[in-house]
Amino acid sequence: MRTPREMLADLWTEAGGDPVALDGVTLGGDEPQLPSSFRVGAAAQISIAAAGLAAAQIWTQRGGQPQGVSVDMRHAVVECRSERYLRLDGNPPPPAWDAIAGVYRTGDGNFVRLHTNFAHHRDAVCRVLNCVAERDAVQAALLTWQGEAFETAAYAAGGVVAMMRSYDEWQALPQASAIDRLPLVEITKIGDAAAKPWPAGERPLSGLRVLDLSRVIAGPVAGRTLAAHGAEVMLVSSPDLPAIPWLTIDTGRGKLSSFADLKTGQGVAALRGLLAGADIFSQGYRPQALAALGFAPEEAAALSPGLIYVSLSAYGRAGPWAGRRGFDSLVQCATGFNHAEARAAGLHVPKELPAQMLDHATGYLMAFGAMMAKARQAREGGSWHVQVSLARTGKWLWEMGRLAGGLATPDLSADAIPPFVEDMPSGFGILSAVRHAAVLSTTPAHWAWPAVPLGSDRPHWPAPS
């Protein structure tokens, strides 16, 4: 079984990193850290370390001295469950799931998982099932459906669901074949532009402006990570878009927040204005959704030559599922994780991973790709497109191998968390939140702006201080 260091080296060199930089990395801790047959601790540590190492390399490229990067595996898995450990004025998070979200059996003996935290997704499921939004009613209705037929019908109606598949069943699908052909972090040149000099600053990403058009976990984690290394991050949302408040708080640390309704000409103009001053554009819309509004990668790069455009999808940019909506819990279910974890536990119902690991790891890989592309832009010019997906991250996690007896590992106790938590003010109250797990010896990660409610700032970049 390959070590985290070996897997980090592969990830780093495949993205164009200097192998010598790996000498400055310290990876502490041992597997397993959480109860799972999968190497979730390794995935957490490697993805966070990759982003930290990219920030350190940028610091050197900007003229700073090489610095050490260390990531403790326990700290990494705690950060990959940061939403669980967030406290607001001492209070824990509210229930994470909508009343009808979760696992149900279908009439053909399969299982389906529903994601209904957004009202329009819940309404779509209930329209397809022709039932009220109550668990017993949903279960009774699903017993009249075959699993795959319901999955297809629900997606067509705008719902977000997944049928549980074994790994072999997933691999038999054309979508799995499409994902198998994609790199974990895909970086491609999309336009010509002069190399941009690094702005002045005391941190790796000082002076860089990042537009964050994402929600829930993976994309927002990427923006939070870039902010932790000094970027000026503007989260752009709309008053009409649903959000999960607790996640907005947790992933909003270090970010400004503005509204731009892209269904209106005024909102499109506001985003175009922000984009003209941006260095990185990070987005989690479904493939082609922003292109329909005039913000395809090449169009965005024309507005801001030298731009790094980062795209997140659920199931990858190619294949018959490329346009499907998806969340971590559903991708786990569809691609074999819930089935495999259940079998390892001796269960016959779906069992999820002990963290939203596809989301969190993908978020750090997004930040890693953005920084590696930005470092390349500063060296050789061009505009660049970075593409990642939850399902491709899942393939990476699967290929790490399994941990025999990993499910017997005790979960983290309450007293294991405080060493990784810090208190800070916010626009909501006092937060107790998980610190960033990548420790850089010269430019330590921190968030310069507090988390604020959505739409707190005007859709304009602040004047330089």
Instruction: Identify the weakest region by mean pLDDT among 98-112, 233-247, 375-389.
Output: 233-247
Q: What is the pLDDT of residue 285?
A: 86
Instruction: Identify the weakest region by mean pLDDT among 168-172, 182-186, 256-260, 324-328.
Output: 324-328
Ranges of each domain in the chain: 102-178+328-335
Q: Quote the Cα angle for 406-339-31, to 5°.
A: 20
Q: What is the pLDDT of residue 244?
A: 87
Q: What is the pLDDT of residue 74?
A: 98
Q: What is the pLDDT of residue 290?
A: 87
Residues 6+ positions from 109 with CB-CB distance below 8 Å: none
Given a contact cutoff of 8 angstroms between Cβ atoms, the answer to whether 275 and 303 are in contact is yes
For 37, 76, 287, 344, 413, the CA distances from 409, given in Å and listed in that order, are 10, 17, 39, 13, 12
Query: pTM of the prediction?
Result: 0.97
Q: What is the pLDDT of residue 287?
A: 67
Q: What is the pLDDT of residue 249?
A: 96
User: Could you read off the pLDDT of 204-240 as tens digits, one per residue?
Assistant: 999 999 999 998 999 999 999 999 999 999 999 988 8
User: Could you read off the pLDDT of 391-438 as tens digits, one per residue?
Assistant: 999 999 999 999 999 999 999 999 999 999 999 999 999 999 999 999
DSSP 314: S
Q: What is the pLDDT of residue 292?
A: 87
Instruction: Choose among 455, 214, 165: nearest CA to 327.
Output: 214
User: Could you read off the pLDDT of 3-56 as tens digits, one per residue?
Assistant: 999 999 999 999 999 999 999 999 999 999 999 999 999 999 999 999 999 999
Angle, to 10 degrees, between the axis of helix 337-345 and the axis of helix 390-399? 40
